C-alpha cells in the first residue's frame, strides 16, 4: 500500500513525521519503506530520504534531484533540467510497493506545490490511488491551512487518513493548545498525534521511543481503519 505524506506548508515537520510513522509501523512488524521522488536543494546523499533512514532505520529511496531549494518545477526550470512525466514518477513509486508493504511517499512542500509544471502531489497521489497523511503546523493560523489542505484533497478525490502535528513546543501558547483539539474538527480527519519539538535531533532508540509516545496510538487506529492492504500483522 502506498500512502502519500504532504504538509500544510513547507517546514512543518513533514520529513520527521514520515520517519516517525515509519518507525511506529516498523515497530509493529510492518514492512515499511520511505520514498522521496523529488528532492530540491540538497546534494546526492543528503536530504529528506537520508534523514528518514537515519531517524527510523528503514530503507529509503529518492530519484529526481534539482539544485535550488525552490518548488521543484521552478528549481528544475532554472537549472534547465527536464522534469519527468507524471506517469514515470508514479511508476517509480509503484515499483517500490509489494504485498504487505507500506510505502510512505513524501511530497515537497504542500499539496499543490508543483512537482512539475503539469502536476502536483495531489495529482501523483490520485495517479497512485494513495490516501494522504497531512502534516500540519500547530500555531496560530494552522486551522485554516489544515482545513484548506484537507478540503482541497477531498475535492480532488483523495482520502485523508489523518493529521500529524509536526512540531509541538514544550510550552504551549493558548492558540496551540486549542488548535490541537480543534484540528480534527475543522479538517474532518483523525488526529494521529503531535511530534515534540526537537525530536528530529534524536536518533536510534530515543527517536523510536519518542515516535511511539507521540504517534503510536494514532497509528494503531489508522491501521485498524485503513483500506485493505495496510496490515499490522504483516
Catalytic residue among 36, 65, 114, 126: 36
Under 8 Å CB-to-CB from 68, ≥6 apart: which residues? 40, 41, 74, 75, 78, 79
Under 8 Å CB-to-CB from 119, ≥6 apart: which residues? 86
DSSP of 151-219, one letter per residue?
HHHHHTT--EEEEEEEEE-SS--HHHHHHHHHHHHHHTS-EEEEEETTGGG--HHHHHHHHHHHHHHHH
* 14 catalytically annotated: no
**Cα dihedral across residues 45, 51, 57, 60: positive or negative:** negative
Cβ of 171: how many Cβ atoms within 10 Å? 7
Closest CA to 3 of 128, 173, 87: 128
What positions carry a catalytic annotation?
36
Amino acid at each position: 500500500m502506498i500512502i502519500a505524506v504532504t504538509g500544510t506548508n513547507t517546514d512543518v515537520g513533514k520529513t520527521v513525521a514520515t520517519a516517525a510513522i515509519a518507525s511506529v509501523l516498523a515497530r509493529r512488524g510492518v514492512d515499511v519503506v520511505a520514498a522521496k521522488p523529488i528532492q530540491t536543494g540538497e546534494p546526492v546523499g543528503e536530504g529528506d530520504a537520508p534523514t528518514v533512514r537515519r531517524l527510523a532505520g528503514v530503507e529509503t529511496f529518492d530519484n529526481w534531484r534539482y539544485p535550488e531549494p525552490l518548488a521543484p518545477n521552478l528549481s528544475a526550470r532554472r537549472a534547465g533540467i527536464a522534469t519527468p512525466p507524471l506517469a514515470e514518477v508514479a511508476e517509480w513509486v509503484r515499483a517500490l510497493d509489494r504485498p504487505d508493504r507500506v510505502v510512505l511517499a513524501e511530497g515537497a512542500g504542500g499539496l499543490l506545490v508543483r512537482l512539475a509544471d503539469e502536476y502536483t502531489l495531489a495529482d501523483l497521489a490520485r495517479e497512485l490511488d494513495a490516501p494522504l497523511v497531512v502534516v500540519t503546523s500547530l500555531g496560530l493560523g494552522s486551522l485554516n491551512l489544515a482545513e484548506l489542505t484537507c478540503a482541497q484533497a477531498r475535492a480532488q478525490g483523495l482520502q485523508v487518513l489523518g493529521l500529524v502535528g509536526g512540531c509541538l513546543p514544550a510550552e504551549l501558547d493558548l492558540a496551540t493548545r486549542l488548535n490541537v483539539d480543534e484540528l480534527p474538527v475543522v479538517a474532518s480527519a483523525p488526529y494521529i498525534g503531535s511530534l515534540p519539538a526537537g525530536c528530529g535531533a534524536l536518533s536510534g532508540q530515543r527517536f523510536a521511543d519518542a515516535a511511539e509516545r507521540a504517534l503510536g496510538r494514532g497509528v494503531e487506529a489508522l491501521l485498524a481503519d485503513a483500506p485493505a492492504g495496510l496490515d499490522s500483522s504483516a
